């Protein structure tokens, strides 16, 4: 999949779920399930409830996403 096809949305982590997944509420009001990107895991960037994050999603499944940035 080309990077141009990904949709990026800012959101807030609402809840931590098992297996390193998170419940994220997007700015448009939708709630999705997201996991952390591999580079964030590799660099041990922690994501906690209440953090502002950027989520990238594929247009084929708008209920799941990947957290690729945590705002400071």
Chain segment 23-55, per-residue pLDDT in tens: 999 999 999 999 999 999 999 999 999 999 999
Q: What is the pLDDT of residue 72?
A: 85
For tokens 């779920």, name the residue.
17
Q: Which domain holds residue 9?
A: 3-70
Residue 53: give its domain's CATH number. Answer: 2.40.50.140
Q: From 7, 16, 25, select the one nearest 68 (Cα to Cα).
A: 7
Q: How far does the chain reach from its first CA to its final CA, in angstroms?
A: 29
Count of domains observed in the chain: 1
Q: How confident is the model at residue 18 (pLDDT cuts 50, 70, 90)?
A: very high
Residue 57 has pLDDT above 80, yes or no: yes
Distance CA 39, CA 14 (A): 22
pTM score over 0.85: yes
Phi, psi values for residue 9, rounded to 5°:
-135, 140
């Amino acid at each position: 999949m080309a990077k141009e096809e990904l949709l990026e949305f800012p959101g807030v982590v609402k809840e931590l779920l098992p297996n390193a997944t998170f419940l994220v509420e997007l700015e448009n009001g939708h709630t999705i399930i997201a996991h952390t990107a591999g580079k964030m895991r590799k660099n041990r960037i922690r994501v906690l409830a209440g953090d502002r994050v950027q989520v990238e999603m594929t247009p084929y499944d708008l209920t799941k996403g990947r957290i690729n940035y945590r705002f400071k």
